[in-house]
A and B are shown apart, each in its own frame.
Chain A
């Protein structure tokens, strides 16, 4: 059986198990617990879409829960609309709210995002109070209880909640196995690397947010009808809702659909049992248990139960694989007789960029021709990486222009530039640590390929750099050379016209340097233009057709390696004035 089929089968098994439970269970109270488990698992799964898959921890997700509850109940009260349709309206409102909240909020990163999300449910609480909806009870409809979601048979609520859970599980599974799922994981692991590999991080996050708002609204609507019967701002927008969501998700583990499921199955019965046994004497016991659970899980297994187990298994498998794999050797050289004098692919014109008090680049201009290997060299602090950050869109220059394939691309986002054929690697390799090597490369492949093809493209790219036997390991177990080769493969998987390689030789052994140089020559032989940053002249002399020398943000020299190394200004910048006198003297 394929892993794909196994995943769906597991979901089916969960639903069947839920059905069996709801028919086995007899007592009213046990039905209530079952309903709660299903609903909180679904709420955890909804939260998990934005905070687990996309890694944007939201402390205000009860906004959508509350919207679901209020919209459905107010529609019944004011217009007599059945909650079955009201729920659909509520989902629409929640999606609209998600867009309105997400648009400004996703411009914030890290802790600012989390703090901002805190404010939205508080605002809703205040507004609901002010509108006079401090307490809205569901009106009794004795004539058509089913039509108004007012079942007398507690099993009906079990089944309804199970239906919501099943739908959310399917949604989660679809996301996990889709292009979006891979993109979200990449954004979560390293947003900048994801952007450089063609992922539109903002769009991916917005999509995830909308998809996580919808089931939260449905859960809110069902919760009101099954459990609360009366909506109050505190009950649906309050801290306890998000706490419970966080507890079920974090205890189980986030970023997987199993986490919230495990968390809800463990935590909800515990807190319900405590509430009924000692809740009368100790009214805050549920809160204490949730708080203690959050603290314990953060102290002892911050990844959650599911990941703890999986990681142990994976790292064991990784160690076994490491023992048998052969070293990577340099492939046969595919030298070209001479650099082809192709058309100009990339034009850099008078680019200037300043940081506070530092002119990192001033009026830098040069051209890159098709199928050449251009070396950019310069001492530390010369502005080399800043140049790359401008070229691939991380930074916008104050002045000057960059043209790629004849079009001005200054100010375009990195993901757009990647889609147009500009790839890059980083000085310190930026991996997606929790994705396998193959999945890392797949993120790059997804720029042009659908999910089905991406796997093949990624395998090809790994084969090209001699890394296919490492495909299933995690990047954490790779050597520096392997990391750099994986980054190169990820970059090649985007089918670039031009690659920017930021110090690909740094930290490599002599053998490693040989491998890397041969790989880069191969890349070029495959028709891809290469721009390399290095600060060691030696290596670039072997590799580059032409050199551009930067010093203190200015272009110092440009030309064939041999001419550049004889240039007095370059010698002075590299070695100081005293060397100039010696260099001038006839050698040998």
Chain B
């Protein structure tokens, strides 16, 4: 089957899963999936299934690793033993350590770590099912989880890979393309600053091909970015819909005068029945 396809060559060249050259795998992101974490996200990128959990900013243990002038971002990338076939040892491998490091470096530029001296922000990423491009998918999930945790960020970080397979430049490589292809270039990108925060390359390509790969990967990142934003907003959109449904009239009444300024006030916390305090902060 695949041989006939190849022979027809230029006209009907198709990727293994039938995607177009610049087409991403279907992506589904959900935020706030772990009730006990400060922030979390679940991503399905093709057949990748990944959960990211964020804790912090919190006190750092061991204390000697903390920095007096800024916070420390710690990322743990871990693949579940059953995430790949054959089973993988659960102990952290060389590869896990490397990906943890590049993920941290990819996420750090988007954060205001100087606001949290002596603290740590922990990101735990667990690969439940792997299908190529897990480091990109993990970065996508981690960025959404960080935003879900309410940690201030300059921008979301989106990641996407591009590479060369069968002599063609393709975007978002799957497991098969990753292994059989000539080259793989994962890129993490902050769309608002037009900044690349992760750039790795594996395999052999010419200079022109590499440049084309980066360009294509950045385009892919922009598509992912939109999905990330959607996922973060979706959580509230749903509740808003539910709440608005029962009494639409009451809401219409209250909105014009009361609503806009309501939350800007930060009165003091303590209130008694007989003596309500009405002091304002700021």
Q: Do A and B bind each other?
A: no
B interface residues with partner A (beta carbon < 8 Å): none
